[in-house]
Structure 1
Amino acid sequence: MSIFIRPSSESDLDAITAIYAHAVTHGTASFELDPPDKPEMARRRNALLEGGYPYLVAEKDGTILGYAYAGAYRTRPAYRSTVEDSIYVAPSAQGQGVGRLLLTALIEACETRDFRLMVAVIGDEESKGSIGLHQSLGFEPVGILKGIGYKHGRWLSTVLMQRPLGRGMLEPPTRPIR
């Protein structure tokens, strides 16, 4: 059976929480230091969905391999058409194209919602896989914030990348101010 990308559901929260806990504990994709529990992950997911953002999972044979969502890049109204992407893949599924499938579907979902720009804030300059994935899907590097976070006993930088969505900046946004 192939990998299926679909909107997340509440029943996915155990897997989502476990995938994120591993990323927080062992990786640099998130600058959180302590993994949140399932109720907190549910609260975060619900807030994104209520805000009109996509929240997707990758599933194969009933197992969640990863998840991705878009959220507000910043909360000020002028940023309403810009989203930040987040992608997390289970350790056992890394290197199998799950991240590419999720990011491709996330881009499409954001375009159907008339978002105009997607920003990637990639933790750690050494995250070559994430940087390469984003670059291969049309993201351009726009900067590096050096030594902005401290985790796992070292200073970490973040790589900033961006990609236009849909009509991009060709015309004013249609998204209402919230």
Structure 2
Amino acid sequence: MGQNPSNPLDNRFEARDLAVGDIIDFLNRTNLRKMRHTRLFVTSDSEQVLSKIVSQFSNQTITISGPILHIDRPAKFNDLGRGFLKVVIDFYALGEYHTSILTPSGFSGLANRRRIEPYQNLFKYDASNRRIERCHDIYEHGKPPKTVAGLVYCRVIFNCSSREM
């Protein structure tokens, strides 16, 4: 992943290439292809990731077209408007789905917080053991505290980025 063609300064991260294959394997084990009315919304800052997943689930995938931008990196000026619109729509759409699979990324983690039940059907990719794990509601056994420490939130915020954090 990485080396986004719309961003010449984007780095490549070899270890994250495995994540796409592992996520595709997980989706295949869920028999997603047999669920004809199920749609898979995919967003990433990597063209390679998008094309791999879309090629595997071509009749079930939804993506937002537009250039892939990083807000902290330079880009072509004429693509900024379209790129920003894509980011806003991706962020909104991520918060509307019933199930989320997140990789380590602040973008997808924050978008997931928009969901009515942000912990319901929430999965994260764990690169250390190459598995997708279910996330549980950190408040399922009690009410959330009035003030929440940053570390408590970090247990459920993941990012969908091909870049190192």
TM above 0.5, one fold? no
TM interval, short-chain normalised? under 0.3
**TM-score, normalisation: structure 1:** 0.26
**TM-score, normalisation: structure 2:** 0.27
Higher relative contact order structure (alpha carbons within 8 Å, sequence separation ≥ 6): 2
Q: Which has the higher strand share?
A: 1
